[in-house]
Structure 1
Amino acid sequence: MANISSIKAASLSMCFSVGAVLFSSHAGGGFATGNQENVYFVSLGWLGPITAIITMLLFTLTIKEAMNMYNSRHLTSYRQLFQNLYSPFKGIEYLFEAFFYIMVLMAVSATISGAASAINAQTGLNYYTGIGVVGAIIFFLTIFGAGLVRRATTYMGIAILAMVIMIFSVGIYMGGSIEGTQFFTAAMAQDFAANGFSKLPTAILHAFTYSGFQCVVIPTMIVVGTPLVTRKNCATSMWFSFAMNAIALTLAVCMLLGWTGIYGKSPLPTLTSCKAMGMSWLTIAYSAFLLLCLISTGVTTVFGFTARFSETKCLKKVSHNAVTRSAIVTLFIIIASMTVSVAGLTNIIKYGYGYCGYLAIAIIIVPFLTVGYYKNKRYASDSEYRARIDAMNENPEAAQAFQPTAEVAGH
């Protein structure tokens, strides 16, 4: 009994760990600065917190189907994953390739831009020094494989969630106590009276768009999620992740709804709001929170790119050492992203993320939640049917008592 319990505990722990990786990937520079929340949710008024929860549900359900398809069929690359998803149609997987390359640049650029804007504003540290520190940490956490990424982002995810609850809860509590702010409930009631359901179509679009561009982490998630060998494992992991993501994003949106009069058009809404609260300890805690978010999203995004290219034949000719190949790819994408970061955080999130999000709705979110769900369910039924047949071949007497279910028989 002790052995069985320990196996269950380890399995649950692994599910939580993989879920925390997804949370850490979402809680990046755009989230920590408040810029993403402001663009996609706060602008919706009273619909913002509701849309945030729906968005995270779409996101985690999509990743669940992706991991399930990848693990159940023992696939070895994200290209094979999308070939399975789009089969029998060929060539559509290259659309994801294009989406992935662009989004890696955008996500890592947002990390770099967020580091430059926030760290410099808070500590006065030189722009390039801040970039160098964050870049070096991302570099070393990325090049040593999925195990290190999973462990590092799990710990960072726990720390980020604790800080999210603390920082945003204080902000919500103080809403209305400082001139220019109001309680988020008052802000929601005021917006509902003025706009009603007029923003509902925009809310639906934002939910799909936001969850769409977050799917850049699929290549990372299918690698770190390979220990989740059953459908139940994948589902449990993503329910953990949904809880963490929904709590964090909803708290952030609720706080910022009450502080829009303070931060205005600032590219750093959360930092501006924290400073206005007049608590030095809270601003220091936010600085640590921001750094963790920047590093976590940088690691998970860069790792997916590194895993894709470090095993190519070209790089294997350069070096037989896997760490060296990973270092070459990681260094390339970090340098390339630094050049994109000059566009500014707000433009990156509003235009770069936005257009990629539109593409992702068509090639990732809708396909996985419809065709992917159907294929996974049928594959599981077929696998169960084959397992029963194999068992009956080993025990012929059981064949007479076996009656296939209607679902299995229909296949």
Structure 2
Amino acid sequence: MKEKRIAKTPFALAFSVGAVLFSAHAGGGFATGNQANTYYVGLGWAGIVSAVIAMLLLTLTMRQAMVMYNSRGMTSYKQLFETLYHPFDKIEWLFEIFFYIMVLMAVAAAISGAASALQGYFGMNYYLGIVVVGMVVLMLTIFGAGIVRAASTYMGLAILVTAITIYTVGIFKSDSSITAILQQDFTTRGFGGMPQAIINAFTYAGFQCVTLPTMIACGTPLENRKGCGKAMWISFVMNTVALVLSIFMLLSWEGVYTAVEGGTTIPTLTACNAMGISWLTTVYGICLLLCLISTGVTTIYGFVARFEKLPMFRGISSAPIRSAIVSAFIIVVSMSISLVGLSNIIKYGYGYCGYLGIAVVVIPFLTVGVYKNRAYIRAHGEAFPQRQEEEKPSAAKSVPNTRPAAQCD
């Protein structure tokens, strides 16, 4: 009876955990449309298949990670990867390298995206925009991170609702029928684009795995393997629907935003401008700018919280000064990266990190991870060990505190 009762994971709990990954994926990077344009739109109909495969790979990977983490009562992602790679525990450093490089890319993308938005709305020089956004992020990181972090979930929700509204309206307002576009593309290309579609699916899932530390922290209330699976299947549906909608809309307006100079940087904004719905464009721009700045602040705050405790900073008694030093260093590095432009960061920075993510996260969890989880559960049973109440945060409360990783895409 006890096993049967534990096996029933409430839908609300599974939904809240699945929504964390959805929120992570639907952050500022997704809402710009740059990721979808870079990895899927150019593939035509095969891009739709690629997007579905990417979301399947991502959610299956997260499921195995949560099962391994919860079944053994772990407390850090370091323990998780040491268990995954055992007996080659030191390979865990590969994930550390992937994680920190990917987060730097995410901060750079946030700064670059915000600067591009300022350029698009106010005509501000792009490089001046980088400096302005960098200074705003620095000030908020030192003095206002808590407020921005707490509001980040609501800003993410606002940009999500706005973006999906644009996707839906854009599909119907386009002069080109999405059905006709896909049919014509299939007739012209056939299955020739599928090899690249598979590669892009793995790459996309690979760099999205930067959210893994967030997911295992938010997934601790799930008490068994079925619960983890339920949460991730819900997340798969949510993520796939949103991503495919964005691809449909961008395919419908591809000829418009590619014809505008700089239109592919934030293609969703360019398409929105072409629709002629001024209020929607304004709301989208405000939400996008706030979400990108929030991404930068919360992501850097996660770095600060970890590195300001290093021995080299023990001589500095003032917490704001320690935060300022660490934040300034990270922002300068990120601003330097952002000089190459949002599209290059997404294509090359995210792309190469995606390759590393495939090697150190996706493939290991979907092969070795599956084997180890099944063996462990056969030996110890389906029910996961109960954590102490203070170590087991609710998924809802975990979202703001883990947002640094969640908004990294």
Kindly indicate whether residue 284 of structure 2 is the aligned counterpart of residue 286 of structure 1: yes
* CA-to-aligned-CA distance 1:276-295 (integer Å, 9 cap, x gap): 11110121132134235425
TM-score computed with the length of structure 2 as normaliser: 0.80
* CA-to-aligned-CA distance 1:338-387 (integer Å, 9 cap, x gap): 22111111111111111111111111101111111221222222222899
Q: Highest Rg: 1 or 2?
A: 1
Question: 1:376: which partner in 2?
Answer: 373
Q: In structure 2, what is the Cα distance between the partners aligned to 1:67 and 1:320?
A: 37
Paired amino acid for 1:205: I
TM-score computed with the length of structure 1 as normaliser: 0.79
**Pairing 1:207-356 to 2, within 5 Å after superposition:** 207-264=201-258, 266-295=264-293, 297-298=295-296, 301-302=299-300, 305-306=303-304, 308-309=306-307, 312=310, 329-330=326-327, 332-356=329-353
Paired amino acid for 1:336: V
Q: In structure 1, what is the Cα distance between the partners aligned to 2:201 and 2:144?
A: 30
Q: In structure 2, what is the Cα distance between the partners aligned to 1:106 and 1:313?
A: 26
Q: Label 1:13 to 1:156 Cα distance change in 2 as closer, same or farther (>3 A).
A: farther
Q: In structure 2, what is the Cα distance between the partners aligned to 1:330 and 1:15?
A: 35
Question: 2:406: which partner in 1?
Answer: none
- Percent identity among equivalent residues? 56
**Pairing 1:145-184 to 2, within 5 Å after superposition:** 152-176=151-175, 182-184=176-178
Paired amino acid for 1:85: L
Q: In structure 2, what is the Cα distance between the partners aligned to 1:386 and 1:238?
A: 18
CA contact (8 A) 1:26 1:214 kept: yes
Question: 2:59: which partner in 1?
Answer: 60
Q: In structure 1, what is the Cα distance between the partners aligned to 2:266 and 2:383?
A: 55
Q: Label 1:64 to 1:8 Cα distance change in 2 as closer, same or farther (>3 A).
A: closer
Q: Label 1:109 to 1:132 Cα distance change in 2 as closer, same or farther (>3 A).
A: closer
Q: In structure 2, what is the Cα distance between the partners aligned to 1:374 and 1:385?
A: 15
Q: Label 1:127 to 1:349 Cα distance change in 2 as closer, same or farther (>3 A).
A: same
Question: 1:186 is matched with which residue: 180, 184, 196?
Answer: 180
Q: Label 1:127 to 1:153 Cα distance change in 2 as closer, same or farther (>3 A).
A: closer
Q: How many residues align?
A: 373
Q: In structure 2, what is the Cα distance between the partners aligned to 1:245 and 1:142?
A: 30
CA contact (8 A) 1:143 1:327 kept: no
* CA-to-aligned-CA distance 1:85-131 (integer Å, 9 cap, x gap): 11112321121122112111111101110000013311346615751
CA contact (8 A) 1:220 1:301 kept: no
Q: In structure 2, what is the Cα distance between the partners aligned to 1:243 and 1:258?
A: 23
Q: In structure 2, what is the Cα distance between the partners aligned to 1:27 and 1:191?
A: 27
Q: In structure 1, what is the Cα distance between the partners aligned to 2:143 and 2:195?
A: 41
Compare 337-346 and 126-135 and name the one that shifted more: 126-135
CA contact (8 A) 1:156 1:292 kept: yes
Question: 1:404: which partner in 2?
Answer: none
Aligned residue for 1:185, secondary structure, equals: helix
Paired amino acid for 1:69: M
Aligned residue for 1:194, secondary structure, equals: helix
Q: Unaligned regions of 5+ residues in structure 1, if any?
A: 1-6, 177-181, 388-411
Name the Cα RMSD after superposition. 3.4
* CA-to-aligned-CA distance 1:177-197 (integer Å, 9 cap, x gap): xxxxx2222211111111000
Paired amino acid for 2:183: A
Kindly indicate whether residue 23 of structure 2 is the aligned counterpart of residue 29 of structure 1: no
CA contact (8 A) 2:206 2:362 kept: yes
* CA-to-aligned-CA distance 1:247-286 (integer Å, 9 cap, x gap): 2111110000011111116322111111111110121132
Paired amino acid for 2:216: I
Aligned residue for 2:276, secondary structure, equals: coil
Kindly indicate whether residue 128 of structure 2 is the aligned counterpart of residue 131 of structure 1: no
Please state how far the C-alpha of 1:236 moved relative to its aligned partner.
3.1
Q: In structure 1, what is the Cα distance between the partners aligned to 2:227 and 2:316?
A: 38
Question: 1:403: which partner in 2?
Answer: none
CA contact (8 A) 1:24 1:156 kept: no
CA contact (8 A) 2:223 2:383 kept: no
Q: In structure 1, what is the Cα distance between the partners aligned to 2:309 and 2:101?
A: 20
Please state how far the C-alpha of 1:29 moved relative to its aligned partner.
3.5
Aligned residue for 1:92, secondary structure, equals: helix
